[in-house]
Structure formats: C-alpha cells, structure tokens
Structure 1
C-alpha cells in the first residue's frame, strides 16, 4: 500500500509560495543595496544588525540572542568591523568589557534596506491598491502569527536559518 500523498501543486503550497516570494523580494533588495554601494552586505549581517538598533551589546549578548556561539559571533563581528558596519567600543561601566555598536556605514545600510523594502511595498500598493494590499498584509500577519513568526519579527528576534 502506497501511503505517499499527492504533492500540493507548487503554486498552491503556502510554504513554497512564501519561500519563493521571500527569495524574489530579497533579491530585489540586495540589488538595490548593491547599487547603493553595499555590495558586501550579506543577509546574515541583518540578523546581527537587528540586535544593535537599540544600542551597543556585548558579544555574549549577541550570541545568546541569536542562539550562536560566542566564537561564531566574534568571527562575524570581526568581519562586520572590517567592512565598516560595526565597531567595538569599551563599555562605559566596565572598561574591560567590549561592546559592539553600529558604525555610520551600518546605519547607512540599514537605512538603504528600509528604503528598498518601502519601495517594494509602494510597488505593491500601486499594483493592488490600498484595500487589496491591506488584505494581503492582514493575511500574511495572520499566517505569521499562526506559525509563531510574528512575535519574533515584532521583537526583532529573528534567528538565522540553520
């Protein structure tokens, strides 16, 4: 007896649709960042940046928030510092502790990414209209909440895929 299910057509598979849409939108954002002079920015950098928006944090705090080792975060931080996106600074309360904070270039790439995402939303608004875009966003928010992703998104607690 064959217990294999009939595959869901790709165009009706919610998971595959979300993956394909995410990949296409991400590609568009990366192209915009490249044109803006941030061709060295990688997707993985955004996972670090989200935790620096509210101010400096230690390597240990970054590691804990991202579910990675301190060694992995140290390596990533060294790369980001070399690229000019972050800098390491002494903690004002304990000069022995080094914090990581966004550098001017880090803020600039974040601003460029926000502008690129806003442009995609504007493009969708022009194509769909305000009402249909609102329905789409509500549906996506419902889906994100159902799978437990909305809280992570709103709290800037997204973790890199393993």
Structure 2
C-alpha cells in the first residue's frame, strides 16, 4: 500500500475500533459507540460533573450531557448526588459500565496479539513527533 503514515495509522485505528465494537456488540454491549469510550475513560477513576466532563472532552456542556444521557439509557452510567453538595450531580460507571470496561480491555488485549511491537513503537514515535504523548497520558484526547 502506498499510503502516508498518518493516513495508514488513522485507517488501521478505525478498522481496529470497528472490529472491537463488533465484538463488544456480540457479547451484549449493543449500542456502544467509539465516542462513548472518550466519555468512559474519564469515569474509570473519577466522577465528574457534566461541565467538568465537557471541559475534559473539549466539548460543550450540552455535548457532554448528550453523551452521558446515551450512556445512562444503555445502563452504563448513573448520575449520583455529590457527597458534599447534594445539589451537584456526578457521573459514575454502573456495574454494567465496569463490565464494559473489563470486556473492552479483554477484547483490545486479544487484538494486540495480532499486532507487532515494531508497529506499536512506530505509532508511539509518531505520537512523540506530533506532540500527542502528554495528551494521551493525561486522557486529554478530544472526542473524534
């Protein structure tokens, strides 16, 4: 294939995400989309408010609220009162949401078996060359 690295990385990533979603749908996580993963990454270790989530995602509060509503309807997220100020609502993963995280990690590990270390190193070098490493480390990757 005669494709530049950025295009090839994008296409390979999109194809991998499609394969992961198919497997997740097959094991009972129907309705989950790639964009939901951007939200869930901020709920794994935290319980942000809608406005905090919007800031983390780099989107409006309305866009963050829409994503949370979708995840609530699917049973992956619940909004709960803040422990200090009950007027404030925070988003948390439900038990079903935690299972989604576990299942997604398992499916991704299986996919990693098909990759090779040289390809992974090349993609890391690309992230380094484009200044994206710190954003990935801080989970500050904007929603696609």
Do they fold alike, i.e. is TM over 0.5? yes
Bigger Rg, which one: 1
Q: Deviations over 1:130-157 (max 9, x none)?
A: xxx3332222111111112222222222
Poorly superposed stretches of 4+, deviation over 6 Å: none
2:70 and 2:121 map into 1 onto residues whose CA distance is: 38
1:134 and 1:71 map into 2 onto residues whose CA distance is: 40
Conserved in 2, the CA contact under 8 Å of 1:11 and 1:17?
A: no
Structure 1: gaps spanning 5 or more residues: 1-9, 125-132
Q: Which residue of structure 2 lines up, in the alignment, with residue 121 of structure 1?
A: 112
Structure 2: gaps spanning 5 or more residues: none
2:124 and 2:41 map into 1 onto residues whose CA distance is: 20
| CA RMSD after TM alignment | 1.4
Do residues 52 (structure 1) and 43 (structure 2) align?
yes
Do residues 148 (structure 1) and 131 (structure 2) align?
yes
Q: Quick check: 112-121 or 71-80, which moved more?
A: 71-80
Q: Which residue of structure 1 lines up, in the alignment, with residue 21 of structure 2?
A: 30
